[in-house]
Amino acid sequence: MTRARVLLFAGVGVGALALLLGSTMSDNMSGPTWDRLVPVMRHKVLRLLAQAKAAGLSVMFFQGWRSPQQEQANQAKGTSFLSDALNSYHIWGAAADIVFQNALGQPYWPDAADPRWQQLGAIGKSLGLTWGGDWHQKDMAHFQLPLSIAQLRDQYGNDYLAYLHDQGAIA
């Protein structure tokens, strides 16, 4: 077992995990796309990246939190099939897209039939995340917390910022 795996399974903290990740860290892991993920999601993403790297997968964090405007732009482009942007787990800080890296460290999305997606999905599910690769309309890179947007909207209405504040994702 590698030193990274020993440390990972010994229960290192999130900061130490980030140091272990090395090349799986991306420039996207700063600013709102990372910072506005709820803390439990950030922690699970770090664990997912570390375990994927330990399994020999070259992956990176691509995107997490999105504004309603970004989600609406994705709807217009046809990359989001939600009828209401506020039903996106990304807006609520509870979803992240994890993609593969090519030899130059650039993000890429292999074909959905590539077995590495199944391996990555299994790791995410072992961490308690819901994986978009299991859906009828596949979203192979998507991982989210097992929350109910309907319940969040019952409690917070459309005020996703209040939820992010209550969860410690924003001050």
Range of the domain at 124: 23-166
Q: Does residue 21 surpass a pLDDT of 60?
A: no
- In the prediction, which pLDDT does 27 show? 63
Task: Name the pairing type of β-strands 59-63 and 130-131.
Answer: unpaired
Q: What is the CATH number of the domain that holds 50?
A: 3.30.1380.10
Instruction: Say if 121 falls within a structural domain.
Output: yes
Structural domains in the chain (count): 1
Mind listing the pLDDT tens digit for each residue in 127-159? 999 999 999 999 999 999 999 999 999 999 999
Instruction: Say if 124 falls within a structural domain.
Output: yes
Mind listing the pLDDT tens digit for each residue in 37-66? 999 999 999 999 999 999 999 999 999 999
Instruction: Say if 9 falls within a structural domain.
Output: no
How many other CB atoms are there within 10 angstroms of residue 146's CB atom?
A: 8
> Residues 96, 120, 125, CA angle at the centre, nearest 5°?
70
Residue 37 and residue 64 in contact, taking contact as beta carbons nearer than 8 Å: yes
**What pTM does this model have?**
0.84
Which residue do the tokens 């309309």 mark? Answer: 137
Q: Cβ-count burial of 68 within 10 angstroms (0-12 exposed, 13-18 middle, 19+ buried)?
A: middle
Instruction: Say if 144 falls within a structural domain.
Output: yes
